[in-house]
Chains A and B, each alone.
Chain A
Amino acid sequence: MKLIDPHIHCVSRTTDDYQFMARCGVVAVSEPAFWAGFDRSSADSFADYFRQLTDVEPRRAARYGIDHYSWLCINAKEAENISLSREVIKLIPPMLDHPRVLGIGEIGLNKNTRNEITIFQEQVDLAARHDQLILIHTPHLEDKHKGTRIITDILKSDRRIKPHRVLIDHCEEHTIRMAKEAGFWCGLTVYPVTKVTPQRAADILESFGPDRICVNSASDWGESHPSMLVDTLLAYRGRGHTEREETEVFFNNPCRFFGQCPKWKLAPLDMKIDSDSENADGR
């Protein structure tokens, strides 16, 4: 079965992980710009990072048959430094025509501070002016509910922003409703620790319906793993969902969201209706 990991930080992963993903059936990934685990000292560091995202990783992924796309931004954590953020934002517009860049992301909030909100709004404006898709990072742990509320309020108050062109990522049980009911796409990030587990992700898919939900591993330099994507698929399959339902969630949904950018090449798969009547044991 073909899979897409819609959010993974390949710059932090080894080639073993690319090989693992290829063995699992992952045929495409998208990589948002994020915090490297330390604060960078200048905009030049970001210029190199953006080159790594747009040129180096697509070549590395292609060796394993994986189509690699990326997103550009200054992440929420380093957005606390407003002057650095504005220098980094200036680097982005000339790169938006790059064939591997899908949009602006992952922008959002980390600790819900005034500075983070200022830079978030400036990057939303950047995306609106250049008609770009947006990938949103929501805060973790106790800051998530408040941060998601602030983010969705800002997006809803900007008439230029079309909710179906925005994916609110790292949604959990208490935030997915506010994102989904407002018409945004939603991301579920599945981690071995601290975030959503494969079983909880399957619960959320069943409780809220699979439409406009993408599942990702968000694998990075911390405790995380690309296997979380396929572990979630297995948890979903274990509930008796059909291959068609699995394909909708783990391949077609990312294709539908990313496909709003003409640079994305994969099309949703048209599964035969009769596969609906088959469960995991009948395939």
Chain B
Amino acid sequence: MLTAKDTLEATHLEMRWRALSLAADLDRIERAGGADLLRTDASMVKLRKALAVLLEGGGNRAEQVQMIFSDMTPREK
């Protein structure tokens, strides 16, 4: 199995690329006049929460992010 250092070395360039892609996506929305949307749109509120999960740690970040993006309303009766 790969060590943690091996795994980091194998993925850090791709993680960097993903962070830059997200930064460019946000810039593009802002350039199109969407500065307010970035602050207030429900999808962006969820995205900010997801980004906080990435920074806070914990062994199940992917599952936590999935739950942020999930509809948790009760089943229709």
Contact = CB atoms under 8 A, between A and B. Distances in A.
Contacts of B72: 145-146
A107 B48 CA distance: 35
Interface of A is mostly: helix
A108 to B, nearest CB: 14
Given A113-B76, A203-B62, A146 B1 contact: no
B71 interface: yes
Nearest to B10: A238
A26 B68 CA distance: 37
A129 interface: no
A212 interface: no
- Which residue among A113, A142, A143, A199 has the maximum number of chain B CB atoms within 10 Å of its CB? A142
B70 A112 contact: no
Interface in B53-77: 60, 62-63, 66-67, 69-73, 75-76
7 contacts: A142-B69, A144-B70, A146-B71, A173-B60, A199-B11, A239-B2, A240-B2
Interface of A: 112-114, 141-146, 149-150, 172-175, 199-200, 203, 238-240
Given A173-B62, A240-B2, 20 more contacts: A112-B75, A114-B76, A142-B69, A143-B71, A144-B70, A145-B66, A145-B67, A145-B70, A145-B71, A145-B72, A146-B70, A149-B75, A172-B66, A173-B60, A173-B63, A174-B66, A175-B66, A238-B2, A239-B1, A239-B2
